[in-house]
Amino acid sequence: MIALITPTGGRPAQISLCQQFMKRQSYSGKVVWVIIDDCVPRTTDDIPEDFRENWTIIKKYPEPAWQIGHNTQARNISVAINTLLSNYTEEEIEAIAIIEDDDYYRAIYLERMISRLNGYDIAGETNTIYYNVFYRTAVTNPNTIHASLFQTVFNPKVIEHVKSSYGHRFMDCQIWEKAENKNLFQEGNLAIGMKGMPGRYGIGAGHSKWSNNIDINLNYLKSLIGEEDAKLYERYYGGIGL
């Protein structure tokens, strides 16, 4: 069994797309998807218990609810980890993936990431591409010694490092620094950091405007994720004249 953790809340457009990306994953094994929604009103009520065959959906609603200015990422991931360990033994959990609500995942994402984890404690893809749909600009993060959290999978041996990272703003750097037996790779952008969408503001890289790699006609985005999927983001452009 593999487990997915998605902290979310106040991002209806993002979690809707996230559902689409998870619905079409080619991975055929057993999946437990732990969804942490910490906003009022909730935006995850339409994710059904029978979301997919062989998938179990677990939702948690931690309190107090998120408010502007709060960073609840660590609290929410902690709730998800505790939920997993209260329902399953570590021996039952083959891998844990952080599926962030606002990012793009190819249909082969889970399948390929689990394959890359084989024999390692943690695996992740480097050189993250961030694409801001509001400004239609892109940037590549030259991260070569760690992977972004949304591009990371790990086995239960790494949970102790996840817990020790809760006090840090950028948990991914801390986890990768402490973890051993790791596999950092590049496989053609299995996931893309999609930023600039409406709703609750994120804390990671990619939420700003960049002056380079301007992509007004979406040609670069189409080259990354295909023409049909690029259309999913057309409506969020608001950078004219900015």
Q: Write out pLDDT tens, residues 121-173.
A: 999 999 999 999 999 999 999 999 999 999 999 999 999 999 999 988 889 99
Residue 208 has a pLDDT of 54
Average pLDDT over residues 192-220: 77
Average pLDDT over residues 165-185: 94
Average pLDDT across the chain, whole number: 93
Rounded to an integer, what distance in angstroms lies between the CA atom of residue 185 and that of residue 238? Answer: 34
Residue 13 has a pLDDT of 96
Confidence of residue 71 (pLDDT cuts 50, 70, 90): confident
Q: Write out pLDDT tens, residues 9-35.
A: 999 999 999 999 999 999 999 999 999
Q: Which of the listed CATH numbers 2.60.40.10, 1.10.3720.10, 3.40.50.720, 3.90.550.10 matches domain 2-236?
A: 3.90.550.10
Residue 211 has a pLDDT of 58
Residue 206 pLDDT exceeds 50: no
Share of the chain above pLDDT 90, in %: 85
